[in-house]
Structure 1
Amino acid sequence: MSNPLDKLRAANPVPDTALDDASLTRSEDTLAKITKGRPTWTIAAASVAVLALIGGAFPLLNHSEPVASAAEILTQAGEAAATQPDAVDKGVTAKEYMKRVDTLGDATAITEYAVDAGGAVEVSSQGEVPGFDPQPSINPEDLVVATDRAGLEKLADSAPNRALGALELLLQPGLSSEQQKIAYDMLADAEGNEVGTVEGEGEDQLVTVIRDSDRVSFSVLPATGQLVRVVGLVGPDVETTIDATAILDCVSVTGLEGPDRISLACADNNYLVNELNWQRWGADSAEAEGVAIENDCDPNCAEGKFSEDRVKVVVDKRVACGYHAEVYSRVRVQYPDGREEEQQIGCAP
């Protein structure tokens, strides 16, 4: 589907069949004007306009004055981001979680990140997209020590320009709320940002900003400071969406196919389940066979003895936490002798 008009029509899943022929013709003419001379990287931003033209769902700002400038919107997003909790606020063993999806044509890469308090990053990725490396583009150790604007500007300036560097920062897993605010402030100070479209209202309002000089567009929720989508940053026409973010408890089960190992003692390695092979991962309930390694901590954990047992692990009771994150909140470890260990997991309390 190489024709921009065809791409825009496809973005509207439910055309308004009530429009008469004349109205449809006017809509087609307007769509042609929107896309005339525009590179394909703008299609993601322009698709909102299709919904306004054909379905009448959202306001189109291309032909009217926006209620706020791009700088004001990005400043608002930064202030909102600064109010969000960090993993360290929840506990020293909590983890920051992010899931992103990168697409280019038929190619898709899905990546999950879990970042601990020390900045160590666990990466789980499926698929490939030309130009996209699932490993964080900024060294996590450098990110941990860049706590002020000068430090973040230094990291951002490794990109072709500071605005693109700020976007790279906002896509980094484990970025603190204050670091997000600084990144948004850097974006707000950059020249060349234009408000493209606005969807919804209130806390659900989604604003798309276009950087014509960089052939990049990005969408944010100003009320929460969540970056939702970036088009053209990884490469021409590559669309990056942030599918979910959350703060996970010290015991959590993540991974696109389920974790190979679960530590049930907040990572002190006194109670582990290894060699997990999952069935129905992603369903309401998933289960796996594995090996439990448990320290009896008698007389204390340093001098205790470890035992191993073949076990069955069941996770269920999915709950929502963070931005679009839905995680399992209970794990049960079932032993051959009928004993069952149950533990609450999932979102950080």
Structure 2
Amino acid sequence: MDVSGNDRRTRAPRAAVRTAGVLGAAAALVAAAVPASARSGTAAAPGATAAPDPLVVLDCSSEAQVRPDEYLLACGDGNNRLVKLRWETWGPRTATATGTDMVNDCRPYCAAGRFHAYPVTVTLSRPQSWPERPGAQRFTTIRLLYTDTAPAPGGKDVTIKLVY
């Protein structure tokens, strides 16, 4: 657009273009950093508390997981892993899923062993406070109920205390 009146197109000075680019990038960063509730203009009612942290299960690295697709049971060597977990419930006292327990037979030794699949129902229970995150709770027990055969030498109903 010609604003000079002489039919010549004018260019904005490079410094102005650079400044506009920097300001645009800064605005995008601010928008990404501000919570959605603050951006939308909605505020919590006076006296209202923030939503509680969800109930979690901790993995081998003490990272919080909610409805994980997989869960490593043998943290030291990776020879026992729950896979294809489909969570039916995730409530305040228990969480239940169906999936597959992949277990290494370690024959003749674990590095040469083969993994075998066992259908399983998984139940997480006994929520307790999580000392590393005040106000949050974590499941502390996992129950494995094998719906067909179970890996040797265990039984078809196994309960494990989660110590992470």
TM-score higher than 0.5 here? Answer: yes
Greater Cα radius of gyration, structure 1 or 2: 2
Task: Indicate yes or no: 2:104 matched with 1:304.
Answer: no
8 Å Cα contact 1:330/1:344 also seen in 2 = yes
- Structure 1 residues 303, 315: closer, same or farther in 2, change over 3 A? same
- Structure 1 residues 319, 334: closer, same or farther in 2, change over 3 A? same
Cα offset for 1:299?
A: 2.4
1:317 aligns with 126
8 Å Cα contact 1:279/1:287 also seen in 2 = yes
The AA in structure 1 aligned to 2:60 is: C
- Structure 1 residues 279, 253: closer, same or farther in 2, change over 3 A? farther
8 Å Cα contact 1:251/1:262 also seen in 2 = no
8 Å Cα contact 2:90/2:96 also seen in 1 = yes
SS state of the match for residue 77, structure 2? Answer: coil
The AA in structure 2 aligned to 1:332 is: R
- Structure 1 residues 309, 253: closer, same or farther in 2, change over 3 A? farther
Match of 2:34 among 231, 234, 250: 234
1:239-258 matches, cutoff 5 A? 248=58, 250=60, 254-256=64-66, 258=67
8 Å Cα contact 1:274/1:292 also seen in 2 = yes
Task: Indicate yes or no: 2:103 matched with 1:294.
Answer: yes
- Structure 1 residues 235, 292: closer, same or farther in 2, change over 3 A? closer
1:272 aligns with 81
Question: How far apart, in 2, do the equivalents of 1:327 and 1:304 lie?
Answer: 33
8 Å Cα contact 1:253/1:259 also seen in 2 = no
The AA in structure 2 aligned to 1:265 is: A
- Structure 1 residues 294, 303: closer, same or farther in 2, change over 3 A? same
Cα offset for 1:332?
A: 1.1
2:143 aligns with 332
- Structure 1 residues 235, 276: closer, same or farther in 2, change over 3 A? closer
The AA in structure 2 aligned to 1:334 is: L
TM-score, structure 1 length as denominator?
Answer: 0.29
8 Å Cα contact 2:89/2:97 also seen in 1 = no
1:29 aligns with none
Question: How far apart, in 2, do the equivalents of 1:342 and 1:326 lie?
Answer: 20
Cα offset for 1:234?
A: 1.8
**Percent same amino acid at aligned positions?**
29
Cα offset for 1:333?
A: 1.2
Stretches of structure 1 lacking an aligned partner (at least 5 in a row): 1-129, 133-232
SS state of the match for residue 302, structure 1? Answer: helix
Task: Indicate yes or no: 2:152 matched with 1:343.
Answer: no
8 Å Cα contact 1:253/1:262 also seen in 2 = no
RMSD of aligned residue pairs (Cα, Å): 3.2
Question: How far apart, in 1, do the equivalents of 2:143 and 2:157 lie?
Answer: 7
Cα offset for 1:296?
A: 1.3
Match of 2:92 among 275, 278, 283: 283
Stretches of structure 2 lacking an aligned partner (at least 5 in a row): 1-29, 44-49, 150-154
The AA in structure 2 aligned to 1:314 is: T
SS state of the match for residue 124, structure 2? Answer: strand
Count residues with an aligned counterpart.
114
**What are the Cα deviations for residues 32-75 of structure 1, in whole angstroms up to 9, with x where unaligned?**
xxxxxxxxxxxxxxxxxxxxxxxxxxxxxxxxxxxxxxxxxxxx
Question: How far apart, in 1, do the equivalents of 2:77 and 2:51 lie?
Answer: 31
TM-score, structure 2 length as denominator?
Answer: 0.57
1:140 aligns with none
SS state of the match for residue 343, structure 1? Answer: strand
